[in-house]
Amino acid sequence: MCGDAVVNDKYEWLMHLNIQGGVINKINDLELLLSKSSVDIVCLNEHFLNAENIKLFSSIPNYKVAGFYCRKSSIHGGSCILLKSNLNYLQRTDIIEFAQEGSFELCGIELTESNILIISIYRTPNKENFPTFIHQLESLLNKLSKEITKKIIFIAGDFNIDVMDCCKFPKEKDLFLNLISQHGLNINFTTPTRITAHSRTCIDNIITNSFLINCEFPVINIELGLSDHRALFLAYKQNVKESSSMIICSRKRRIFSKKKY
């Protein structure tokens, strides 16, 4: 597990993880992880929960469910955002309207005491839904175009688009990366986030504003054993009195294997 030695209160932290269902059996492990680390924002994909039992996450001490997407016509999938209990927020209903089951499952919130917008997205690994995903992402980014230059943007998700150099679908990767780049955003991870006996892919990521990449705080890609996806951590500092002083990092990268913990 990732503890204080890796994720500590020197910075504020955002964590992304595809938890891959089975939350009832994993909730204690997730609670232990969060109790031993200073994570302020938690973005989870594939929680497999519905609108009635998503409140299960609220049983984690010192955290609350701030936003969520649950499927209505099929099972599995979903996304949600957990926040430290002391953080105030508002839901961005104008963002939620872009959700599409299977291809663009998102939720979005904004921290009211700082200029931070948080979005969690999950896309089912289905090549046929890629055009819908790109269309919805482009529509979302067009809507956020003015905010991208004024706010700190975190878009965390399992996009099921491999961004590694040796990916199987380079056209999808290029369309995805070009689109976010055109809107002043960048990915923060290029190393494997899902490793199986047959593949090593970087399909999970945290997207942030391009103007925030030149700093020296860590981003971490680590195996936690909660699913077959690795967890991604991104550090940032904020000054709530002056939002322009908020900074995050995509330069220093630390990759930890399960053997080290």
Tokens, residue 114: 């700082």
Q: What tens digit of pLDDT does each residue of 37-88 get? A: 889 999 999 999 999 999 999 999 999 999 999 999 999 999 999 999 999 9
Across 197-202, average pLDDT: 94
pLDDT band at 216 (very low <50, low <70, confident <90, very high): low
Across 171-177, average pLDDT: 97
Q: Does any domain span residue 186?
A: yes
Q: Does any domain span residue 138?
A: yes
CB 190 within 8 A of CB 164: yes
CA 162 to chain centre: 15
Distance between CA atoms of 241 and 146, rounded to whole angstroms?
A: 21
CATH number of the CATH domain containing 120: 3.60.10.10
Give the range among 10-14, 95-99, 135-139, 256-260 with minimum mean pLDDT.
Answer: 256-260
Q: Does any domain span residue 6?
A: no
pLDDT band at 229 (very low <50, low <70, confident <90, very high): very high
The pLDDT value given to residue 211: 72
The pLDDT value given to residue 103: 98
CB 129 within 8 A of CB 160: no
pTM for this model (two decimals): 0.90
The pLDDT value given to residue 185: 96
Are β-strands 204-209 and 152-158 bridged in parallel, bridged antiparallel, or unpaired?
antiparallel
The pLDDT value given to residue 241: 38
Across 14-24, average pLDDT: 94
- Asked whether the predicted pLDDT for residue 213 surpasses 80, the reply is no
| CA distance to 13, 67, 98, 127, 250, per residue, from 9 (Å) | 8, 24, 34, 40, 18
Q: Does any domain span residue 2?
A: no
Domain that holds residue 237: 12-260
The DSSP element (H or E) to which 28 belongs, if any, is helix 23-35
pLDDT band at 240 (very low <50, low <70, confident <90, very high): very low
Burial of residue 14 (CB within 10 Å: 0-12, 13-18, 19+) is buried
Q: Does any domain span residue 19?
A: yes
Q: Does any domain span residue 179?
A: yes
CA 159 to chain centre: 10
The pLDDT value given to residue 237: 75
How many residues does the structure list for the chain? Answer: 261
- Asked whether the predicted pLDDT for residue 22 surpasses 80, the reply is yes
- Asked whether the predicted pLDDT for residue 248 surpasses 60, the reply is no
Got the DSSP string for 41-68? EEEEE-----TTTGGGGGGSTTEEEEEE
pLDDT band at 8 (very low <50, low <70, confident <90, very high): low
Higher pLDDT, 247 or 241: 247
Q: Does any domain span residue 7?
A: no
Nearest residue to 32 (alpha-carbon basis) of 70, 62, 65: 62
CB burial of 99-126 (b: ≥16 within 10 Å; e: otherwise) equals bebbbbbbbbbbbeebbbbbbbbbbbee
Across 136-148, average pLDDT: 97
How many domains in the chain? 1
Distance between CA atoms of 205 and 167, rounded to whole angstroms?
A: 15
